[in-house]
Structure 1
């Protein structure tokens, strides 16, 4: 693989935030009279709110009320209440440093809002290292649609087959595959190897990928 760039997911990959996001959805739905169990929401982490909401409550849409307010309240809950539960994934900063030192062009692709992304980068202690990103505001449809990954490829000004995505959910893999980008997956987002089928390699967390860096697809370029 001739590799020049990395498309990097954040939630569940560099920060352990998937449980917090799921809990915030449950609470926001409940605050507006909709009962949704954590176990229903958790497997959908990695999927953007515009995709998640109608799957859970078919009559709701982020584009219309009350869905619009539910989504907004959910974001506020993450940033103001659940943020204290979120920790950096093991080895997050060290892996980013290694990739940058190797001369790889790193661009973020996330379904999160710009406000959430800013907070997550600080938690991962990489806000001083990563400056290029595509977020929910850069795409008409969030993951598992390919829009955000395609936007990241365009921002990097590289061919998709010269990039690889590092991510943690089956929705990342689906989005990247549609965009022509291969995926290295990490298990720290809480998904099984079976759910991560389609990834070219799977590691426990960023530190595990860093430990095996030279033998990984990143080191074999």
Structure 2
């Protein structure tokens, strides 16, 4: 059995604008100036408190809790109003469909989002039943701590040698390496190819169309994408 774990923000969904809005609310709540866009988005992937503490700096790190509370309240309010419907990245649904069609593949999520954020994503995009394990910031330390992956392995019974983490940040790659599983970086999110490679990515892809090929080149994963006599992937 293979386990393929996806990050959410920056990997499955494009949440840049809604994250920036939430960060602005958090900074405004404690009367601190908002960082520039690039700096603000560099922390995507970390748990909320750790992200705000890093952005606020050492002198204001004690305000991270209040900033996080404001961010969460904003998110809950906007979702209740039918807002914050972050779009899937191109190819996301098709990639999930291809993996779901394989009897020997389990698909999971490991994200710095709260569980309610993942549930919202699943509901908005009709991804019910796609993820057999969902690991979030509610129950695990922030990435790059490997706890999320360890929990996913425990829940599914998958082996490390048949598990891969797919994400867009160095935190995802470092988490995978710390857990002893494979890591595939994607460049359409928040960290570039050089950062992903430096953090230990076994492969880096620029579009979901490249995922099957990247997976098939991982040791032990080649049987996932065997072809039949007609050259079709099975």
Same fold (TM over 0.5): yes
Please give the secondary structure, in 2, of the residue aligned with 1:88: coil
Q: 1:62 to 1:78 in 2, by over 3 A?
A: farther
Q: Structure 1 residue 77: deviation in Å?
A: 6.3
2:230: which partner in 1? none
2:204: which partner in 1? 202
Q: What TM-score does the superposition give when structure 1 sets the normalisation length?
A: 0.84
2:90: which partner in 1? 90
Q: Structure 1 residue 87: deviation in Å?
A: 0.8
Q: Which has the higher mean CA deviation after the structures are superposed, 104-113 or 68-77?
A: 68-77
Q: 1:78 to 1:182 in 2, by over 3 A?
A: farther
1:12 maps onto 2:10 in alignment: yes
Q: Structure 1 residue 92: deviation in Å?
A: 1.2
Report the count of equivalent residues: 215
Map Cα deviations across residues 94-113 of structure 1 (whole Å, 9 max, x no partner): 21121122221112111111
**Among residues 214, 219, 222, which one is paired with 1:220 in the alignment?**
222
Name the CA distance, whole Å, in 2 between partners of 1:127 and 1:61: 38
Q: 1:54 to 1:63 in 2, by over 3 A?
A: closer
Structure (1 or 2) with the larger CA radius of gyration: 2
2:128: which partner in 1? 127
Name the CA distance, whole Å, in 1 between partners of 2:83 and 2:29: 16
Unaligned runs of 5+ residues in structure 2 are 224-234
Q: 1:158 to 1:100 in 2, by over 3 A?
A: same
Q: 1:18 to 1:156 in 2, by over 3 A?
A: farther
Name the CA distance, whole Å, in 1 between partners of 2:189 and 2:25: 21
Name the CA distance, whole Å, in 2 between partners of 1:49 and 1:16: 17
2:117: which partner in 1? 116
CA RMSD of aligned residues (A): 2.6
1:27: which partner in 2? 25
Q: 1:173 to 1:203 in 2, by over 3 A?
A: same
Larger relative contact order (C-alpha < 8 A, sep ≥ 6)?
1
Q: What TM-score does the superposition give when structure 2 sets the normalisation length?
A: 0.79
